[in-house]
Structure 1
Amino acid sequence: MPLNRLNQSATLIAVLALIGSMASLCVGTSFAKSLFAEVGAQGTTALRVSFSALILLCVWRPWRMPLSLANARVIALYGAALGATNLLFYMSLRTVPLGLAIAIEFTGPLALAVSSSRRAIDFLWIAFAVAGLLLLLPLGENVATLDPVGIGYALAAGVGWALYIIFGQMAGNAHGGQATSLGLTMASLVVLPFGLAHAGAAMFSPSLLVAGLAVGLLSSAIPYSLEMVALKRLPRRTFGILLSMEPAMGALAGLAFLHETLNTQQWLAIASIITASVGCTVTAGSRRRASAEA
């Protein structure tokens, strides 16, 4: 088989893997939301993160690898940010549709991506992100549409996501599997007290434990594995552009599994935030090249 055809096949596999990762995450989150009536957002978060940690601990067995004290500290911060982000995001899902919550949460990484730049083009992406948020904020006619507390939780989850990226980059010296599995273990220690305080012994019913395992697989173990396949084969810019489609996929998953319908203004808000994310990703490549040439 010619080399270019092999490259095309590898790229197609990577794209399908990333799409599968986002689909699995959105389906898993939709399923997780259906558990809120029994154990609340807090209990559901605790089940998801704890089972995800157990799965990845079994896969990576991080205790077999050396770990410096400096890396352990950073991984602890990375895990705490991950746990807080998951809890805040699930709290937002109590009153905010899935696609909109993902779109609002995306503003955290977006703000981080453009925070160190002063180029005119980056302010355009900031404008798109702000426009998307303004379309969603409970102002004027939107007051009765979206819960301001839910939006606040989603924005806080965005801040947590940005911190997760920062601490994740700082933990880059550690093995990826070790950092992720230990980080999720730390995340479970952060969210378990909230889950137990809210749901108590109900979290340990056999049916909910099975459901929690399914959520952990769909929302973390499978997406993480598929993302690793995509990351090894796709350029960073292509990966970022495709990942920017996640709010739309979340909205479609919410419609299909949770019967969450969005109005035209809310779809425009999602489109605006996706445009900001894609634009920021595309221009980041040229920004890095310009820095390298300087």
Structure 2
Amino acid sequence: MPTATAQGLPGLDRIPPIALVLSGVTSIQFGAAVAATLFDDLGPAGTSVLRLTWAAVILMALVRPRVRGRSARDLRLVALFGLTLGGMNVFFYEALDRIPLGVAVTIEFAGPLGVAVAMSRRRLDLVWAALAAVGIVLLSNPFGAGLDTVGLVLTLAAAACWAAYILIAQRATTAYEGSEGLALAMVVAALVPLVPGVAEAGTTLLEPQWLALGACVALASSVIPYSLETEALRRLPANVFGVLMSMEPAVAVLAGFVILGQSLDARELVAMALVVVASVGSSRTAPASAEA
């Protein structure tokens, strides 16, 4: 029976890369919807504690990363990686407690799109950025009832963490093999929500039913999608990967409707479409960095 190594999880190299990305997108969004059902009992921070702790335990057991012999620079890098990963999760769950899943995921896309625009010298990317900005303003609806202000700020904070995560993850791939960096970073990430999570949920975190559900959320929202996406990135051009990832808001709307009973109005759907088009456009017109 194959075992996981520092190069990643076993068997993924036999699955088509597009299928890996689409499976990862579906897993993470339905995992987020399931996580939201735990908020009433555990709170967003408490749910985050279970997700990240289980993800760290599972990844450390599967990947078994090497810690000894690492330079101080590499350890600082993985610590920063973990802090951004943990912050992204906590901010997103706190936002999800206040605004619909599809809306939160769409606004969070400002993070990776901002990175793409900032690192590009093409004028066309300014058009995509402007289109995304219009979509986000429409979602926030400043002249109407509008989104929960705290939820909007928290989602933008999650977007900033996502942007930082992308930049740091790129550096981590040069210092760590396979999923080693991710596994070690997840240990650090689990510490980020620990204090507020314990304050919110207390000993409820240790009850068997919540531990089991937390493990399911960790698998669906962290272990499975991150592993699938890491493998897909090895075999797909970055622009193709970006286009496929742009489906996340649409899948998030579906997950929010099926599991949470959330529905969006015409304005919100149009706003989401603008952000998705901007993301697809930015990815499609970016130079390919690899061959499929």
TM norm structure 2:
0.90
Contact 2:52 2:190 (8 Å CA) reproduced: yes
Cross-structure match for 1:246: 248
Alpha-carbon distance, 1:176 to partner: 3.1
What is the rounded CA distance, in whole Å, between the counterparts of 1:176 and 1:77 in structure 2?
Answer: 18
Cross-structure match for 1:58: 61
Residue 137 (structure 1) aligned with residue 136 (structure 2): no
Cross-structure match for 1:7: none
What is the rounded CA distance, in whole Å, between the counterparts of 2:124 and 2:267 in structure 1?
Answer: 25
Residue 202 (structure 1) aligned with residue 204 (structure 2): yes
Match of 1:35 among 23, 34, 38: 38
Alpha-carbon distance, 1:106 to partner: 0.6
Contact 1:48 1:213 (8 Å CA) reproduced: yes
What is the rounded CA distance, in whole Å, between the counterparts of 1:184 and 1:159 in structure 2?
Answer: 18
What is the rounded CA distance, in whole Å, between the counterparts of 1:264 and 1:11 in structure 2?
Answer: 41
Overall identity of the aligned pairs, in %: 40
Deviations 1:139-188 (A, max 9, x none): 12233xx2111111001100011111122122222223110000000000
Relative to 1, partners in 2 of residues 1:17 and 1:111: Cα closer, same or farther, differing over 3 Å?
A: same
Contact 1:11 1:233 (8 Å CA) reproduced: no
Cross-structure match for 1:226: 228
TM norm structure 1:
0.89
Alpha-carbon distance, 1:12 to partner: 8.1
Alpha-carbon distance, 1:13 to partner: 2.3
Q: How many residues align?
A: 277
Structure 1 unaligned runs (5+)?
1-9, 290-294
Match of 1:44 among 47, 52, 71: 47
What is the rounded CA distance, in whole Å, between the counterparts of 2:66 and 2:19 in structure 1?
Answer: 33
Alpha-carbon distance, 1:269 to partner: 1.1
What is the rounded CA distance, in whole Å, between the counterparts of 1:12 and 1:127 in structure 2?
Answer: 37
What is the rounded CA distance, in whole Å, between the counterparts of 1:66 and 1:191 in structure 2?
Answer: 29
Deviations 1:42-75 (A, max 9, x none): 1001100110010000011113664221111011
Match of 1:121 among 112, 117, 124: 124
Match of 1:96 among 82, 96, 99: 99
Query: In structure 2, what residue type is equivalent to 1:157?
Result: A
Segments of 4+ in structure 1 off by > 6 A?
none
Relative to 1, partners in 2 of residues 1:63 and 1:168: Cα closer, same or farther, differing over 3 Å?
A: same
Query: In structure 1, what residue type is equivalent to 2:70?
Result: L
Match of 1:23 among 12, 26, 33: 26
Alpha-carbon distance, 1:120 to partner: 2.1
Residue 170 (structure 1) aligned with residue 171 (structure 2): yes
Residue 159 (structure 1) aligned with residue 150 (structure 2): no
Relative to 1, partners in 2 of residues 1:118 and 1:16: Cα closer, same or farther, differing over 3 Å?
A: closer
Contact 2:139 2:272 (8 Å CA) reproduced: no
- RMSD of aligned residue pairs (Cα, Å): 1.8
What is the rounded CA distance, in whole Å, between the counterparts of 1:11 and 1:206 in structure 2?
Answer: 35
